[in-house]
Each structure stands twice: as C-alpha cells, then as structure tokens.
Amino acid sequence: TSAYIQAAEDTASLNSYVLLTADKALDMASDADKRMAAGNGGVLEGLPIGVKDMFCTKGVTSTACSKILDGFTPVYESTVTANMWAQGGVMLGKLNCDEFAMGSANETSFAGPVINPWDAGDGVDLVPGGSSGGSASSVAARSALLSVGTDTGGSIRQPASFCGIVGLKPTYGRCSRWGIVAFASSLDQAGPFSRDVADNALLLSAMASHDAKDSTSAATPLQDVVAAVNAGVKGMKIGIPREYRMDGMDSDVEKLWQQGQEWLKDAGAELVDISLPHTKYALPAYYIIAPAEASSNLARYDGVRYGNRIEADSLDEMYGLTRAEGFGDEVQRRIMIGTYVLSAGYYDAYYLKAQRVRRLIKNDFDEAFATVDAILTPATPSAAFPVGRKVDDPVINYLNDVFTVPANLAGLPGMSVPAGFNQAGLPLGLQVLAKPFDEASIYKVGKVIE
C-alpha cells in the first residue's frame, strides 16, 4: 500500500486521482495485516484499489467529478465498495472521471483531464479514454493495483483498451448500483479494472452480489469465474459479427481483430460468421436513451439537497443559477437532449422509437447466442488520441462508443482485453461479449487473447 501511495504521488501529473486517501489506506492495510496474520483474510486482503469518483464512499468526498457535488461527503457506502472492503480490499482514493461519467476521453471532469501513461514517444499527451479515465490510467501507471469503474456505454471497456489493461462490464444487474451516482439507470453497471484477466475475475467475484437495495440487482449466482480463467476455449463457438467491419476503422484495429481470431482458432475454438443487423442503430438509440435517463436522474441536483448552492432571491432563480454554475457543458448538453426527447410531442418520435430499436438489438444478440458461446469484436475504432483533439466535436467523441454501446443496450457482459499495439506502439484491446450472466465464457476467451 505504501508503494502504491508513493507511485500515486510520483505520477500526480497524470491527474488520475481526485483524492488520495493515504491515511485511511494505511489504516486499512494494517487491519488487513492483522487479519492475514490471524489466518482469516478475504479474497482481496491487503490489495490496494482505486475507486472511480462515481461511487459513494462513506465519510470520503464523492463528487462524480462535478462542481455541483463539490464537497459532498456521503454518510453511506456503495454496495460494491462495501463488498470489496468486506473482502479485505484497501481503498487508495477516489479516481478522476468524466463529469457524471459523460464522455469518452476524460476531458469533461471538473478536476481537469486525465493523461494516459502511454505515449507514442513524440511528447504528445494522450487521453486515457473515458469516462473511467482515472481508473484505467492509475492501473496502467501502477499507481493502483486494481480499480473499479462504471460503464453506461463503454466507460470501462474503452479506457481499458486505450490504456492496455483489462476492463469488464458485467451483465446488467450483476453488481449492485446502490450508492453509485446514477447516469442512465437502465444501462449503468459497475465493473473491475486490472492488469490481467485472472486478477479481473478475482475482483469481480468480490464486487458482485445480489442486493435488495437495488431492485434491478440479479439473484442469479456468479459462476466460478476464477476457475474459468484457465479453462481454455476448446470446442467453444466464437461469433464474428460482419457488421462490425466498419468504414473508418483503423487498419491496425482490423489486423488485430484478425489476429485475435487466429489465436482463438489455434486454441481450439470454432469461428462462426454471424450477423447483428441492427448494429448501426445502436449508437443513435444510445444517445437518445442515455441522455433521457440522465436528464431525469440529474433533476435531483437542485441546490437544496446536495453539494453546491448559489443563493438567490427566489427558489426558481436559485435552481437556475445553481444548475447553470454547477453543471459543465457536456452535462448541460445531455440534459437538453434528454429533456427534448422526453417532451410531449417528441416522446413517440424519439424516445419510444429508440426503445424499440433497443429491443431489436437485444433480439439480434439472442439470435446469435442461440448458436455461439461468445462474440469477438474490436473494443474501439482507434487507439488513444491526443488530449484536446476531439474536445470540441461531441459527435466525433460519440463515435468512439460504436463497438461498446450495444452490450449496454442489450444488458450483456463485455470485456476489453489488451491484444496488441498499433504501429505507433499504442495499446489496443479486443472486446469479448457473452450471454447475460455468462461472465465465465468471457474470461475463458480473454485469457487466450491476453
């Protein structure tokens, strides 16, 4: 733990942490030592873990990297983090992320951008991906052994790919959402980041639980994912969706995807050409549904109950000033889009239509999984890009999520596993998808690729 605290201090210029809780970490570590000495350690005993600032942590400031929650200190602990501490995990601190997890480059945070520890050797700072940019950059920079993030449309898998580490979005309902700041409730899911596949399975086994405090939490028990890691892929059928061969995809990404298919074939898997015909509608449907839910979830930040307040003469004026000052540009954009698509007169044309598209996307996957055990795709259309390059064009940023959002819309588990590098030497990930509640298949495939 001391070594990781030191590493976090030494890499402070990456801006991965918004809060380093060094004293608390050392206390937790010494308690862990005592439990280990007494022979009753948990599965994460003594392991130092960073926590995305979307998780509420009792007595520790939790802001979702938004000015509107500046100084907010929860009096409760999220279920996922409580589960980790119950297994002996040690909290290193809170990790930077896009404001309310809205973004793909970690450039919308109130605490400023996060820098990717990787670069192409030309001195240009690269984004770590987002929204869980701090979670990915800290593990890649060795300033956290493990970390947790949230994934609403790719926010675990895309930064894992950009930073060359493993990131899993579990099945929707696998990890409790209780105590996690809500972005889009029907899509949000917490998940683990790690340097390798085995550690990832171990962390998931500690995070996951059925939780009566989250009505969408699943009672289906977690498979033995730790054992699955080394089970191999012999006889497994892996689907290769033809719609993921997209224009504008980097040729390095395309090559790596081919390479991944070869590795799986060599390890005894059978490759199956599949079709997911509604893939091209996933991104537009996501960028209606996610803002719609966000606009509703963010209504609670009214200056009365949480964080910041700008005083004014009337209540309405106080709401307006507080929200105008507290929310950044991207969050305000989402609130406007979400409010628009939910308003009377537009609801049927946008929101309802998007929900129907969502069902078609889910049906595509159901059909595919009738014949295959897992699906292999690229995780991102390109490697990490320079800080500031895409910041002014929201649509270009949204296109980053093209391979990751379908899993959220369909509730499927998905993992990005580091598979290789582009010509500039930057890491690239491949994505493995499986049926709901079949994280074991993902770990089997991921282990062959890493």
| Element at 90 (helix H, strand E) | strand 90-95
- Give the residue with the Cβ less far from ligand GLN, 198 or 246: 246
List beta partners, residue 93.
20, 50
Binding mask 142-171 for ligand GLN (x = CB under 6 A): --------xxxxxx----------------
CB atoms < 10 A from the CB of 297, how many?
18
Closest CA to 54 of 182, 213, 174: 182
Closest contact distance (angstroms) between CB of 219 and ligand GLN is: 25
- Give the residue with the Cβ less far from ligand GLN, 107 or 211: 107
| Element at 169 (helix H, strand E) | strand 166-169
Contact stretch for ligand GLN (CB under 6 A) within 2-10, 26-34, 100-108, 360-368: 100-108
Answer yes or no: are the C-beta atoms of 300 and 350 closer than 8 Å: no
Binding mask 383-402 for ligand GLN (x = CB under 6 A): ------------------x-
> Which 276-315 positions form the footprint of ligand GLN (CB under 6 A)?
290
Closest contact distance (angstroms) between CB of 54 and ligand GLN is: 8
Q: Which of 79, 106, 131, 422 binds ligand GLN (CB under 6 A)?
A: 131
Closest contact distance (angstroms) between CB of 268 and ligand GLN is: 34
Which runs of consecutive H residues, i.e. helices, occur in 208-250? 225-228
Closest CA to 286 of 213, 205, 191, 362: 362
Q: Could you give the CA distance from residue 335 to residue 340 in angstroms, rounded to a whole number? A: 8
Answer yes or no: are the C-beta atoms of 47 and 146 closer than 8 Å: yes
Size of the site for ligand GLN (CB under 6 A): 14
Closest CA to 309 of 5, 143, 71: 71
- State CA 385 to chain mean position distance: 18
User: Max Cα separation, the chain?
Assistant: 71
Q: Which residue, chain included where needed, has tokens 């999220």? A: 78
Q: Which of 118, 183, 193, 403 binds ligand GLN (CB under 6 A)?
A: 183
- Give the residue with the Cβ less far from ligand GLN, 73 or 332: 332
Question: What does the DSSP assignment read for 246-279?
Answer: -TT--HHHHHHHHHHHHHHHHTT-EEEEE--TTG
Label residue 45 exposed, middle or buried (CB < 10 Å: 0-12, 13-18, 19+): middle
Which among 62, 78, 131, 161 is annotated as catalytic? Answer: 131
> Which 401-420 positions form the footprint of ligand GLN (CB under 6 A)?
401
- Reported as half-sphere exposure (CB side, CA atoms, 13 A), residue 274 has a value of 25
Q: Could you give the CA distance from residue 362 to residue 368 in angstroms, rounded to a whole number? A: 10
Is residue 133 a contact residue for ligand GLN (CB under 6 A)? Answer: no
- Give the residue with the Cβ less far from ligand GLN, 138 or 158: 158
Contact stretch for ligand GLN (CB under 6 A) within 98-106, 118-126, 314-322, 359-367: 98-106
Which among 16, 52, 137, 176 is annotated as catalytic? Answer: 52
Question: Which residue type is seen at 283?
Answer: L
Contact stretch for ligand GLN (CB under 6 A) within 38-46, 57-65, 101-109, 239-247: 101-109
- Give the residue with the Cβ less far from ligand GLN, 8 or 294: 294
Is residue 135 a contact residue for ligand GLN (CB under 6 A)? Answer: no
Which among 155, 176, 295, 382 is annotated as catalytic? Answer: 155
Is residue 191 a contact residue for ligand GLN (CB under 6 A)? Answer: no
Active site residue 441: no
Listed in sequence order, the residues at least 6 apart from 48 whose beta carbon sits closer than 8 Å to its beta carbon are 1, 4, 25, 29, 90, 92, 144, 145, 146
- Give the residue with the Cβ less far from ligand GLN, 202 or 335: 335
Q: Which of 11, 104, 161, 279 binds ligand GLN (CB under 6 A)?
A: 104
Query: Which residue lies nearest ligand GLN, judged by its C-beta?
Result: 155
Active site residue 161: no
Closest contact distance (angstroms) between CB of 384 and ligand GLN is: 14
> Beta strands 270-274 and 189-194: pairing type?
unpaired
Active site residue 447: no
Q: Which of 8, 49, 82, 101 binds ligand GLN (CB under 6 A)?
A: 101
Applying CB under 6 A, which residues contact ligand GLN? 101-104, 131, 150-155, 183, 290, 401
Catalytic residues: 52, 131, 155
